[in-house]
Structure 1
């Protein structure tokens, strides 16, 4: 598990390898990840957007951005958390992801970014 706190918002990520499959005559490695967003600040906040950078061992970089997470824009009061699961496909057995969530503080109405710590993706059979 990797964790990081930015502006009182704690992000925790746990990853897992889901398996391999062929798509368009290429092997793909499927990874899942669970993210917990915990509001440790004294204010109420809302997650509005996300931006991910996905890297693989073949130096392929993909950027993904959009509204909310899995179709939701969670509002978190002090002490509340939101957990969701998602995944990605790589064309190599190793990679990493990092990014940030764009949030708004309901008390101050200020927008701010919360770092998603870099987490590694690795197929267990490929680990030495």
Structure 2
């Protein structure tokens, strides 16, 4: 698990290779990741958008911007957590993702950025 805290918001990421959805002969490697967003601050927050920097070890680089996460713009109260699962496919067996969430504090609508720590996407058999 990879974890980082930015402005009182704790982001934790767990990633797993999914061989059942991958096809190495066709350069298709699927990974699932679980993101946990924990509000350690004393303000209610809303996740507005996300940015991902995705790097594939064959040299591909993709940037992804979008509203919310998996179709939601969750409000997270102080002391509460929001989790979601998503996925990423690569053309190789290794890469990484990193990025940030754009959030607002509901008390005054001020915006701030919360870093998503870099996490590796590695097929299990590569490590053996």
Stretches of structure 2 that go unaligned for 5 or more consecutive residues are none
Matches within 5 A, 1:1-128: 1-19=1-19, 20-21=22-23, 26-128=26-128
User: Residue 58 of structure 1: SS of its match in structure 2?
Assistant: coil
Q: Which has the higher strand share?
A: 1
- TM-score using structure 2 length: 0.94
> Which structure 1 residue ranges, 4+ long, deviate > 4 Å from structure 2?
none
The count of corresponding residues between Structure 1 and Structure 2 is 126
Stretches of structure 1 that go unaligned for 5 or more consecutive residues are none
How far is 1:80 from its partner? 0.6
How far is 1:119 from its partner? 0.2
User: Residue 125 of structure 1: SS of its match in structure 2?
Assistant: helix
User: Residue 108 of structure 1: SS of its match in structure 2?
Assistant: coil
How far is 1:26 from its partner? 2.9
How far is 1:108 from its partner? 2.8
Hey, what's the Cα distance between the residues in 2 that align with 1:50 and 1:109?
17
User: Residue 107 of structure 1: SS of its match in structure 2?
Assistant: coil
How far is 1:126 from its partner? 1.3
Hey, what's the Cα distance between the residues in 1 that align with 2:125 and 2:76?
38
How far is 1:27 from its partner? 1.8
Deviations 1:77-111 (A, max 9, x none): 10010000000000110000000000001123210
